[in-house]
Amino acid sequence: MNYTSTRGRGQSVPSAGAILRGIAPDGGLYVPESLPALTLEDIRTLCGQEYVGRAVWVLSRFLTDFTGEELETCAAAAYGGGRFDDDRPAPLAVLGDEAILLELWHGPTCAFKDMALQLLPGLLTASAAKCGCGREAAILVATSGDTGKAALEGFKDVPGARIQVFYPTQGVSAMQKLQMTAQEGRNVSVVGVRGNFDDCQRGVKAIFTDPDLMGRAEGLGCFFSSANSINWGRLVPQIVYYVSAYCDLVSEGRLALGDPVNICVPTGNFGNILAAYYAGRMGLPVKKLICASNRNNVLTDFLRTGAYDRNRPFYATSSPSMDILVSSNLERLLYHLSGEDCGLVAGLMAELEGQGRYALPGAMHDALGRDFWGTFCDEKDTRETIRRVLDTYGYLPDPHTAVAVHGAARYRAQTGDDTPMLVASTASPYKFAPGVLAALGVPAPSGDEFASLDLLKSLSGAPVPGPILGLRTAKARFLDQCAPGEMAEETLRFLAR
Ligand SMILES: *Cc1c(COP(=O)(O)O)cnc(C)c1O
């Protein structure tokens, strides 16, 4: 199966090429030329397998230029090698009749990004070997908090790769920042950008597609690639856990094979929910996808009106990984909804670039509404949901997960649809301890993040993940900061290192 750009120009490439490049030369995103099928019979078979087996099955349908053995090796190293703190990398937790949480934060950095970023380095290294280019991969990452750390952990000391992460200095939690600035490894660099996530993302995309910079990288024996969810190698592993969760629900008798499920996802860059969409398009019985946003509700408005408009205030919220106004992966959805009309997508993206807004043709807006339902949660409702879920179910959700639990409840209340609801739980609450404490009405001890952890643990009884406890003794290594306009210079310095 080959991959083409959402914006159409240029040739199709095998999956290894799409993974290596990250973004297509015309600035579009790689999409598969066709979508593989997942039948109920396939699901029945996958029910009898563990996570690694399910992952290999899904990956093999999309990454057809990889051998079964390559995929097996990559998946076993990512999910079977003791890097996750639970035997099942993505276990379920039940909130009464309200929702089933799909916990995606049992990896080494305690956020759902690990699900893909533990696998991506293996896929990327194998892709480089296939393409025989002999150059080193320079991975550039823009992060709203969690991707950066997960990518650093995935790529640290991986031969043939180096990684540079840009994060917004004021846009991440103290724990997220310490996780990144204290990163170990010989091939890593972390830079704070005096701007927001959109500045970081725009800067990285500009570096990738700048012919002069690409030439300079080549001269230094490198090529640029991306570990952001614009990279196809990030999305496929995310399809796996929706398929796997459905299998678990069937195996546990919560669903009969073929029964529909709704999926609610706390959304920022639209990668996670897009993976659920792909699972549904393949044949997973998904009825509705609920797109839950925080106060940065550009997607809620888009789903309601069909007009995307990023000209609006940007809010720093208690769910910082969703503080995004330009959701990159929406471009892939537009491509599929438009009947794979890359001319139309290129036009809409040019409008977004130029005016910061675009409006969908009516038929596309209708198609969008058939699969998706959008809602958002303000800060007060986020706090109330954290408290309610702890009080009602004895379960402590992180603020991102709380946004989704709130969205799921609102969907049910407004539509009356009581199809079983799977909610993506995307981070450990201990990554955001002061915010979670505030939600519980407890003032956070000032100055010391770790005192907040202890207090939160005593209130909730939930264990603190090992990787977060380990930060107690960590020292920040990377103190560099730059303006958004200086990111390219930082990258050149990093390449020359
Ligand atoms: C990245 C992230 C999200 C948003 O996921 P997208 O794929 O960008 O939509 C939600 N919650 C957490 C904790 C995250 O790290």
Domain 88-110+233-432, CATH among 3.40.50.300, 3.40.50.1110, 3.40.50.1100, 1.10.10.10: 3.40.50.1100
CA 106–ligand 1 middle distance (angstroms)? 15
> Could you tell me the end-to-end alpha-carbon distance of the chain, in angstroms, rounded to an integer?
37
- Going by DSSP bridges, is the β-strand pair 99-103/92-95 parallel, antiparallel, or unpaired? antiparallel
* pLDDT recorded at residue 497: 85
Atom of ligand 1 nearest to the CA of 105: 13
Residue pair 92/248 in contact (Cβ under 8 Å)? The answer is: yes
Q: How far apart are CA 119 and CA 345, in angstroms?
A: 30
**Is the CB of 397 within 6 Å of ligand 1?**
no
Torsion angle of the four alpha carbons 238, 431, 194, 381, in this order, in degrees rounded to the nearest 10: 90
- pLDDT tens track of the chain, all 497 residues? 999 999 997 789 999 999 998 989 898 999 999 999 999 999 999 999 999 999 999 999 999 999 999 999 999 999 998 899 988 999 999 999 999 999 999 999 999 999 999 999 999 999 999 887 789 999 999 998 899 999 999 999 999 999 999 999 988 888 899 999 999 999 999 999 999 988 999 999 899 889 999 999 999 999 999 898 899 999 999 999 999 999 999 999 999 999 999 999 999 999 999 999 999 999 999 999 999 999 999 999 999 999 999 999 999 999 999 999 999 999 999 999 999 999 999 999 999 999 999 999 999 999 999 999 999 999 999 999 999 999 999 999 999 999 999 999 999 999 999 999 999 999 999 999 999 999 999 988 887 788 999 999 999 999 999 999 999 999 999 999 999 999 999 999 999 98
**Is the CB of 426 within 6 Å of ligand 1?**
yes
CA 266–ligand 1 middle distance (angstroms)? 7
**Is the CB of 266 within 6 Å of ligand 1?**
yes
* pLDDT recorded at residue 209: 84
CA 103–ligand 1 middle distance (angstroms)? 13
Q: Which two tokens stand for residue 240?
A: 């796996």
Atom of ligand 1 nearest to the CA of 270: 9
* pLDDT recorded at residue 87: 84
Q: How far apart are CA 332 and CA 286, in angstroms?
A: 19
Q: Which two tokens stand for residue 116?
A: 């893909």
Would you list the DSSP string of 71-134? HHHHHHHHHSSS-SSSSSSS-EEEETTTEEEEE---STTSBTHHHHHTTHHHHHHHHHHHHT--
Ligand 1 pocket mutation, candidates 109, 112, 167, criterion most atoms within 8 A of CB? 112
Atom of ligand 1 nearest to the CA of 272: 7
CA 142–ligand 1 middle distance (angstroms)? 13
**Is the CB of 401 within 6 Å of ligand 1?**
no
Q: How far apart are CA 234 and CA 275, in angstroms?
A: 9
Cα atoms found within 13 Å of the Cα of residue 212, Cβ hemisphere only = 5
Residue 263 is inside which H or E element, if any? strand 261-266
Q: Within 10 A of 45 (CB to CB), how many other CB atoms are there?
A: 14
**Is the CB of 222 within 6 Å of ligand 1?**
no
Residues in the chain: 497
Q: Which two tokens stand for residue 290?
A: 């609920």
* pLDDT recorded at residue 468: 93
Q: Using alpha carbons, select from 282, 229, 205 the residue that is nearest to residue 25.
A: 205
**Is the CB of 267 within 6 Å of ligand 1?**
yes
Q: Which residues pair with 96 in a beta bridge?
A: none
CA 147–ligand 1 middle distance (angstroms)? 8
**Is the CB of 176 within 6 Å of ligand 1?**
no
**Is the CB of 270 within 6 Å of ligand 1?**
yes
Atom of ligand 1 nearest to the CA of 398: 13
- Going by DSSP bridges, is the β-strand pair 136-142/161-168 parallel, antiparallel, or unpaired? parallel
Q: How far apart are CA 301 and CA 294, in angstroms?
A: 12
Cα Rg of the chain, angstroms: 21
Atom of ligand 1 nearest to the CA of 271: 7
Q: Which residues pair with 424 in a beta bridge?
A: 102
Would you list the DSSP string of 162-226? EEEEEEETTSS-HHHHHHHHT---SSEEEEEESS-HHHHHHHHHHHHT-HHHHHHHHHTTEEEEE
Q: How far apart are CA 401 and CA 395, in angstroms?
A: 11
* pLDDT recorded at residue 220: 92
The domain locations on the chain are 88-110+233-432
Residue 457 among the catalytic residues: no
* pLDDT recorded at residue 25: 87
**Is the CB of 321 within 6 Å of ligand 1?**
yes
CA 311–ligand 1 middle distance (angstroms)? 22
Atom of ligand 1 nearest to the CA of 324: 8
Ligand 1 pocket mutation, candidates 120, 272, 330, 468, criterion most atoms within 8 A of CB? 272
For residue 325, the 8-state DSSP code is S
Q: How far apart are CA 437 and CA 450, in angstroms?
A: 12
Residue pair 479/181 in contact (Cβ under 8 Å)? The answer is: yes
Q: Whose CA is nearest to atom 15 of ligand 1?
A: 146
Q: Using alpha carbons, select from 69, 73, 70, 155 the residue that is nearest to residue 118.
A: 155
CA 114–ligand 1 middle distance (angstroms)? 11
Which is the catalytic residue, given 113, 177, 205, 288?
A: 113
